[in-house]
Amino acid sequence: MSLALARKYRPSTFDDLVGQETVSQTLSLALDGDRLSHAYLFSGLRGSGKTSTARIFAKALLCEEGASSHPCNHCGNCTMANESRHMDIIEMDAASNRGIDDIKELIEHTKYKPGTGRYKIFIIDEVHMLTTQAFNALLKTLEEPPDFVKFILATTDPLKLPATILSRTQHFRFKKIPQKLVLSHLEYILNEEGISYEKEALDVLARSGAGSLRDSLTLMDQAIVYSKNHVDMATVTNMLGIIEPSLLDELLNHLLAKNESKVLEFITLASEYESEMVIDELTLYLKELLFAKDGRFAPLIIDRFFRVLADAKELLALGSEGEFVLSLTLFKMIEALSVRDIDDMIRILQKELSGAEIKAPEKEVEIPEIETEITAPAATKTSENKEISDPTSRTETSVTAQEEVTQAAVMQAAPIADKAPSVSEATPVKPEVSTPEQTSTESTTAEPATTKPAATEPSITASAQTLDTGALKFKSLVKKIYDRDYDLGQCFESNITYESFHDHALTWHSTAADNDKKMLINHWSIIKMFVQELFGFETKIVNIPTEPKKKIENSAQGAGSKEQVGVVPSGYPSETSNTSDTPSEPAKESIRHNDADSSSMIEEIEMKSSCIAPEAGDTEAAKEKDPSELLKEPMVKEMIELFDPKKVRIRRNS
């Protein structure tokens, strides 16, 4: 009578076990060294050899030649064990005998000694199917059985076993059998049976077994019958209902070529198969290409294909129509190939950006030349022209900021000019500033004095360059404020004038008043943030309140004064009508408001009144008021209405 290949070629010794070397070696050493336990637990994948190992171990324990890892297979105990009729080897299927009554009957058998062998061995297969009550009934016997009793438990799901059972047994884990070992075992059996085969077909059978040797043997047994004793690729693929690997290879070539018409032909052909099976086979084929290091597919492309196939599996799990999911998947794989071009474009763009040059602005204004004159009291005039010009500093600057840069440069150049040698060093020197337009019309007739040492020229150039940098940053500040709020930028540009930037101190003039002043105060945090961003976080703002020129002129005319009144920033030379050669008195400095954080925009204007200037008798404030007209003053009327006094007394100031 013929037997299935899985039963006919069941292992009979530890050496015949396939892919379970660790388990067979451990049990063999335990038998040879007489270090046996009373209970064993075998767990692992179906068809991995758990039951076969349990029978081999039981036969080795009962062999008449003694407990050994190599039983004789000739004695009566070995013969009965091979024929599965030994009375001291009791096999129990826990799936069908899972109740507490079945366990009670098993415990009753443990009380009796073995009939012919030295041990009574209980093999409980699928032990995880026992009920909780049955497990509890087995605990005591499993922990302390009689000396002649051995328990061998087998399961495919050890996680379902109680921890009390696991702690009372030696646990052996059977691993999944590698595909190469399954393939070699199939070749061995076909050679023993004398059946011709194609190795590619056996490879498909071994892969379909998914690590279970029994499943692979069952499929091969079926393939032998279907192929009429010649196992080939076409027969195996038709029998298993899977697509041939050659068709998958052609499909991948069409995907690389982005040939949509050929892909549609494959979809029509694949309608005969299960869509999930096609996706699984395509995934396995990509895995083989990755391990084979196929030059057509880079690991990045295989990774993208795998992600698309994984999404398709999720769609199929949701119950989507299989053919549509397969079509969508294949076209998504074509689109995944186009991502490589996008990556190339990103790299090109990064290279272009890394090598890009910042274009210069359209407006470019050069720094004007600065001339200074030094006059000595001994009628010897020394004139010296210094041209401050640096190619690197001639960058973008605004026309309005040009005048402030020129004046600040003169302010820095004046102390250096004072150190120049002259006829009399003890005599103070008065600096006079002349603009380029004025110097074009002047004619100097005095004798030239000794010029400055050449060592002072770099200092003037470096100072002007630094000031020019501050002016450029100030222009960027105005632009940033415009970008943030156009109205605020217009208010800032019309009221704030740049003066200098030295030692982390930014100095400017403010002519803001009324609504403009309120707007600047309300938005001071934004202005300060931009200043720190451009000039540095340690920058302090020095605000110099300045009265607009028109307002100053009107105030001076109303006071009847012939003297020009204005606010001159500190450090600037006074500009008066005095043209004598003697040094002039320094101009009155305006009060600087250094507390930038308080955002104060106070403007102090020097006004004449009867209190400050009693000699100004022609001013309105100095005139004496008529007592009868005083009560008609609007402020007095408001005070009377507010306090509602019973009597108002007017006292003349003596």
The tens digit of pLDDT for each residue in 33-47 reads 889 999 999 999 998
Residue 125 is predicted with a pLDDT of 93
pLDDT at 342: 66
> Please, what is the Cα angle at 607 between 603 and 608, to 5 degrees?
165
Q: Could you tell me the CATH number of the domain that includes residue 222?
A: 1.10.8.60
Q: Name the residue with tokens 């004789």.
A: 72
Q: Are residues 421 and 278 in the same domain?
A: no
Q: Are residues 158 and 27 in the same domain?
A: yes
What is the β-pairing status of strands 120-125 and 89-93?
A: parallel
The whole-number pLDDT of residue 355 equals 63
The single residue listed with the structure tokens 């500033």 is 433
Say yes or no: 192 and 327 in one domain. no
Do both 89 and 160 map to the same domain?
A: yes
The number of angstroms, rounded, from the C-alpha of 115 to the middle of its chain's C-alpha atoms is 73
> Tens digits of per-residue pLDDT, 410-435?
444 444 434 433 333 333 434 343 44
The domain boundary, picked from 128, 148, 174, lies at 174
Structural domain for 268, as ranges: 245-352
Domain boundary among 174, 193, 215: 174
* 477 lies in some domain: no
Q: Is the pLDDT of residue 170 over 90?
A: yes
- Closest to 13 measured CA to CA, from 77, 58, 47: 58
Domain count, the chain: 5
Q: Please tell me the distance from the alpha carbon of residue 264 to that of residue 270, in angstroms, as a whole number.
A: 10
Provide the phi-psi class of 555: left if phi over 0, else alpha when psi is between -120 and 50, else beta. alpha
Report the CATH number at residue 34.
3.40.50.300
d(CA 254, CA 418) in angstroms, rounded, equals 87
CB within 8 A of 208, min separation 6: which ones?
215, 216, 219, 240, 242
579 lies in some domain: no
* Whole-structure pTM value: 0.50
Q: Which two tokens stand for residue 441?
A: 């019309």
Is the pLDDT at 611 greater than 70? The verdict is no
* 363 occurs within a structural domain: no
Q: Which pLDDT does position 289 carry in this prediction? A: 86
Name the 3-class secondary structure at 40: strand
pLDDT at 514: 85
pLDDT at 164 (0 to 100)? 92
By the 8 A CB rule, do 200 and 236 touch? Answer: no
Pick the closest to residue 143 from 171, 168, 115 (CA basis). 168
Checking if the pLDDT of 391 tops 90, the result is: no
* Residue 368 belongs to a domain: no
Residue 49 included in any domain = yes
Are residue 555 and residue 603 in the same domain, yes or no?
Answer: yes
Q: Quote the pLDDT of residue 429.
A: 39
Please state the rounded mean pLDDT for residues 539-556: 69
Q: What is the pLDDT of residues 107-146, one digit of tens each?
A: 999 999 998 888 999 999 999 999 999 999 999 999 999 9
pLDDT (0 to 100) of residue 426 = 37
**Residues 210, 214, 220, 225: is their CA dihedral positive or negative?**
negative
DSSP string, 422-448: -S-TTS--EEEEE-HHHHHH----SPP
Average pLDDT taken over every residue of the chain: 74
pLDDT(476) > 80: yes
pLDDT of residue 52: 93
pLDDT of amino acid 387? 40
Whether residue 133 sits in one domain with residue 155: yes
Answer yes or no: are the C-beta atoms of 478 and 491 closer than 8 Å: no
Q: Are 445 and 568 within one domain? A: no
Are 562 and 502 in the same domain?
yes
510 shares its domain with 435 = no
Alpha helix (H) residue ranges in 295-441: 299-317, 322-354, 400-418, 436-441
pLDDT at 598: 40
Using 50, 70 and 90 to split pLDDT, how confident is the model at 462?
A: very low
* Per-residue pLDDT tens digits for 289-316: 888 888 888 888 888 899 999 999 999 8
- 195 plus 295 within the same structural domain: no
Calculate what percentage of the chain has a pLDDT beyond 90. 24
Q: Is residue 256 assigned to a domain? A: yes
**Are 22 and 162 within one domain?**
yes
pLDDT tens readout for residues 3-29:
888 888 899 899 889 989 999 999 999
